[in-house]
Amino acid sequence: MVLGIVLHAALPYIPGMPSSIWPSDNSSSYSIKIVFEFIHMWRMPLFFMLAGFFANLIITHKSWMFWCNNRVLRVGLPIAVFFPVMGLTLPWIWKYGRTGEFYFSYSNTGQPFHLWFLWHLLIFVLFSILFRIPRKSFVALLRLLNGSGMEVLTLFLYKLKNVIAVIIFKSKFPIGFMLACGIINLWAGGELIINPFGSGLYFLFGFSLYKNPSLFSFIRKEWKYYLLIAILIFSLYIALDIRGVKDITEVIYQTEIRENRPSDVSLFVLTRYSMEIIGGVLFSIGFIGLAEDKFGSYNRFSRFISDGSYWMYLIHLPIVAFTTFFMFAWPIYPEIKFVIATSFTAGVCLVTYQYFVRATFIGLFLNGKRHRGSNFGNVCSACGMSLQNPERFCTECGSELSHQNVALRSRESGC
């Protein structure tokens, strides 16, 4: 979520950015665009994968009802609080960016702004409620068929369900999943902001990954190959952009790019779109494996950033937008403006989190109670592997782990 600061700081300096979408600086930078395209390719797919993974973790260790209540508390209430805050700040900041004039006003035009992903998370809760009854009915039907001498049909339905799951969610070479993402996201040009079905597919992948220890172990060991292929795909994606191949969203959203025709969806445009989907999936999976392999142990700084990321994302947009718009008249390179806007916004967010949020009711409101001094040692009974972070499965052999509270962290750990 913290990378949202980088993306929104980059937008005014992207070449060809329509001012009706985002106020633009007179100077632009293609190097900043490359940074933007790289992060934008995988950031939200990875976010929704992790959201699904931890949703399954909560449901497994607590309950489905606990997860639903948690989402309403940690997602629904922040929406209720920050929806009017954004309506009170962003409209006049946008007007300032376009005209240079201050005119304080309240407007919900453009909502939900950068908080759209919170609405998607609530939609997933709603879908889980709606599909809970059909799922129970399906299980009851299978039991009924199995008890009425129709075991062959029951076996066929079970195998069909498992085959679909294997093809889309459980393959080590996620061709089926990438194909499904490409189809579901095509109508929106790969943009998840208006497509909860697309973000929901990434969510389901992460949800499935939690109870797929063999795939999780494979990703942890072979993450470098996912990232290597993803980097090659991204390089080709940028090469197509340099050649002038349009992003498919430029063709779909013709209200902003009026010179385009539907016939502009050429083979090169579809190729670029395919690379965006493939790169997003491979980067996301590769980064999950990289994090698990190299950054699985406790670290004070990463824990601080992790705890503060929610607050930072919620409040960053008015700050970074105003900062970039304020520098429009500065006669300096756009790269310097970009670094200033990113650093200043991150600094304000971190300082406010440390002194006004982390140890207050706001921190409790956003992140829940922080548990100090708990260190769970996981010991795999199958291979003897000892892990210091609370995994569900052994990432070496895939066996389920036994959780034991071994000791409180020492004072030297900083907790």
Written as one string, the DSSP assignment of 144-202 is HHHHTT-HHHHHHHHHHHHHHHHHHHS-SS-HHHHHHHHHHHGGGTT-GGG-HHHHHHH
164 Cβ partners below 8 Å, 6+ apart?
A: none
Tell me how long the chain is: 415
72 Cβ partners below 8 Å, 6+ apart?
A: 122, 125
pLDDT at 381: 56
Strand partners of residue 407: 375
The 3-state DSSP class for residue 405 equals: strand
> What is this structure's pTM?
0.85
Give the residue ranges of DSSP H helices in 20-76. Answer: 30-61, 64-71
Low-confidence ranges of the chain (pLDDT < 50): 255-263, 373-377, 388-391, 395-396, 398, 403-415
**Separation of alpha carbons 84 and 108, rounded Å:** 8
The answer to whether the CB of 47 falls within 8 A of the CB of 1 is yes
CA dist list (Å): 50 to 1, 41, 104, 260, 390: 12, 16, 38, 37, 15
Q: For residue 348, which amino acid is it?
A: V
- Which pairs count as long-range contacts for 72-81, CB under 8 Å and 24+ apart, including other chains? 72/122, 72/125, 74/366, 74/367, 74/368, 75/118, 75/121, 75/122, 76/122, 77/365, 78/115, 78/118, 78/310, 78/314, 78/365, 78/366, 79/112, 79/115, 79/118, 79/119, 79/122
Domain ranges of the chain: 3-370, 372-415
Kindly calculate the radius of gyration of the chain based on its CA atoms and give it in whole angstroms.
Answer: 23
**Separation of alpha carbons 336 and 304, rounded Å:** 27
The answer to whether the CB of 227 falls within 8 A of the CB of 42 is no
DSSP 360: S
User: Among 261, 272, 115, which residue's Cα sits nearest to residue 186?
Assistant: 272
DSSP 254: T
Q: For residue 347, which amino acid is it?
A: G
Hey, what are 334's tokens?
């756009």
∠ Cα 12 312 205 (to 5°)? 90
**Separation of alpha carbons 267 and 245, rounded Å:** 10
Q: Taking the CA atoms of 20, 25, 27 and 29 in sequence, report the sign of the dihedral they define.
A: negative
pLDDT digits (tens, 9 = 90+) for 150-185: 666 666 666 666 788 888 999 999 999 999 999 999
User: Among 409, 414, 412, 392, which residue's Cα sits nearest to residue 401?
Assistant: 392
pLDDT at 21: 86
pLDDT digits (tens, 9 = 90+) for 15-68: 988 887 899 999 999 999 999 999 999 999 999 999 999 999 999 999 999 999
**Separation of alpha carbons 197 and 107, rounded Å:** 28
CA dist list (Å): 322 to 10, 91, 128, 219, 327: 13, 11, 39, 41, 9
